[in-house]
Structure 1
Amino acid sequence: MKKALITISIAIVVIGIVFYGINQKERQIVQQNLITAIEKSRVGNELVTIDFKKITGFSWDKVYVFTPYTPEEEINQQLGFNWSKANLIEYYDSFNLLVFVKENKVVQYVKFPRTNGKFIVESKNEFAPDEKVEFNQLY
Structure 2
Amino acid sequence: MKRIIFFVFLLLLLLLTYCTLNKVPHNEELRESVFFIVKDKSNTEISMNTLTDFDWDKGFLIPPYSSQESIDKQLGVHFSDPSSIDFRDDIYLFVFMKDNEVVQYVEMDVQDAKFTLGGRKYLTPLDDVIIIERY
Specify if TM > 0.5.
yes
Question: Gapped runs of 5+ residues in structure 1?
Answer: none
Contact 2:25 2:103 in 1 (8 A): no
**Would the alpha carbon gap of residues 13 and 81 (structure 1) be closer, same or farther in structure 2, given more than 3 Å must change?**
closer
TM-score scaled by length of structure 1: 0.70
Which is richer in helix?
1
Task: Compute the TM-score of the two structures, normalised by the length of structure 2.
Answer: 0.72
Moved over 4 A (4+): none
Deviation of the 1:69 alpha carbon: 1.3
User: 1:1-139 to 2 correspondence within 5 Å?
Assistant: 23-24=25-26, 27-36=27-36, 38=37, 42=40, 45=42, 47-48=44-45, 50-85=46-81, 88-115=84-111, 117-121=113-117, 123-136=119-132, 138-139=134-135
Deviations along 1:50-71, whole A, 9 cap, x unmatched?
A: 2111111111111100111122
**Closer, same or farther: CA 53–122 of 1 in aligned 2, 3 Å:** closer
**Number of paired residues?**
132
Q: Percent same amino acid among aligned pairs?
A: 27
- Counterparts of 1:126 and 1:81, CA distance in 2: 14
Structure 2, gaps ≥5 residues long: 4-8
Aligned Cα root-mean-square deviation (Å):
3.6
